[in-house]
Amino acid sequence: MSVPSVLDDIVAGVREDLAAREARTPLRELRAALADADAVRDPLPHLRASTTSVIAEVKRRSPSKGHLADIPDPTTLAAAYAAGGAAAISVLTEQRRFGGSLDDLRAVRAAVDVPLLRKDFVVADYQVVEARAAGADLVLLIVAALDDASLRRLHDLVGELGMTALVEVHDEAETERAVALGAELVGVNARNLKTLDVDAGTFGRLAPLVPADRVLVAESGVTGPDDVARFAAEGARAVLVGEALVRDGDPAAAVRAMTGLPVRTPSPTAGGTLA
């Protein structure tokens, strides 16, 4: 019998919590609430710019680092991110391992006007509808957590609701699946979700496998402008940053320092080949 990975354990907890929310609020009620949701904000025009963008994260803790920061009011941090020029704000909504909630997402939505990413372990249609009802404009889909049919269904639903999917990959096989899916926004996470180890070479290894017309986001291992410059040289148009920002005494300045660096423009034939 195989030993459950960290990802397996997290998803198991997510499913338990999801079942409890579904019991309290049926899907039909969630769908009815969509009529009152803010209009969707499209993050892609900003993320397609020729210089780096930052997706800044509201993140209290993580399985790999434990406690990161006390964030009693996520709106204060989100406002600082927006003031620093963040292209989007990522809000952790997983409670057990990350200390987040949908209430955080709702509060941030009411406080800022930039696109919001619901960052969670999304495994069901209910969570996608839930994200839109709470004001999200983007939804994270982790390829490692989904089979092909589920990935396709959830990706299609995200699009049907007008949102953008950030499709996260960790290796060559997952990258192939994301490319085949047609994902416009591909996040390359340097952190192995089975072991929590970070491999700094992951982005550079996988970026050439993604067609040049997609938008690449570097995730994990971003500690400052030097890291952003390295990822930008490898083709990242955006970086998703949590720990370095929540621990910084001036998050607005930290976002600003990571924004606007030149991005390497891939050749028209780059990407898409997994030899």
Residue 220, SS3 per DSSP:
coil
Q: What are phi and psi of 129, to 5 degrees?
A: -65, -40
Tokens at 7, concatenated: 């990802």
pLDDT for position 266:
60
- CA 220 to each of CA 122, 203, 230: distance values in angstroms, whole numbers, following the listed order: 19, 10, 13
Confidence of residue 4 (pLDDT cuts 50, 70, 90): low
- For residue 114, give the amino acid letter: V
79/154 Cα distance (integer angstroms): 30
Instruction: Give the residue among 9, 40, 24 at the shortest CA–CA distance from 131.
Output: 40
Predicted confidence (pLDDT) per residue in 250-260, tens digit: 999 999 999 99
Q: What are phi and psi of 139, to 5 degrees?
A: -130, 135
- For the purposes of burial, counting CB atoms within 10 Å of the CB of 275, is it exposed (0-12), middle (13-18) or buried (19 or more)? exposed
pLDDT for position 251:
96
- CA 166 to each of CA 2, 30, 55, 202: distance values in angstroms, whole numbers, following the listed order: 29, 22, 11, 17
Instruction: Indicate the pairing of strand 88-92 with strand 185-189.
Output: unpaired
Instruction: Give the residue among 185, 221, 186 at the shortest CA–CA distance from 202.
Output: 221
DSSP 42: P
pLDDT for position 273:
42
Neighbouring-strand partners of residue 55: 88, 240
pLDDT for position 66:
85
Residue 231, SS3 per DSSP:
helix
Predicted confidence (pLDDT) per residue in 210-227, tens digit: 999 999 999 998 999 999
Instruction: Indicate the pairing of strand 66-67 with strand 61-62.
Output: antiparallel
Predicted confidence (pLDDT) per residue in 16-42, tens digit: 999 999 999 999 999 999 999 989 999
Q: Show me where the domains of the chain are located.
A: 6-262
Could you please report the per-residue DSSP string of 201-219? THHHHHGGGS-TTSEEEEE
Chain mean pLDDT for the chain: 93
Enzyme catalytic residues: 57, 59, 119, 168, 189, 219-220
Predicted confidence (pLDDT) per residue in 114-125, tens digit: 999 999 999 999
Predicted confidence (pLDDT) per residue in 235-252, tens digit: 999 999 999 999 988 999
Average pLDDT over residues 150-170: 98
Residue 275 scores a pLDDT above 50? no
Predicted confidence (pLDDT) per residue in 70-114, tens digit: 898 999 999 999 999 999 999 999 999 999 999 999 999 999 999
CATH code matching the domain that covers 6-262, chosen among 3.20.20.70, 3.90.1300.10, 3.90.1150.10, 1.10.10.10: 3.20.20.70
- CA 67 to each of CA 57, 99, 181: distance values in angstroms, whole numbers, following the listed order: 15, 9, 35
Positive or negative torsion for Cα 225, 92, 203, 271: negative
Instruction: Give the residue among 112, 117, 243, 251 at the shortest CA–CA distance from 190.
Output: 243
The torsion of the CA quartet 34, 39, 45, 51, rounded to 10 degrees, works out to -90
Predicted confidence (pLDDT) per residue in 39-59, tens digit: 999 999 999 999 999 999 999
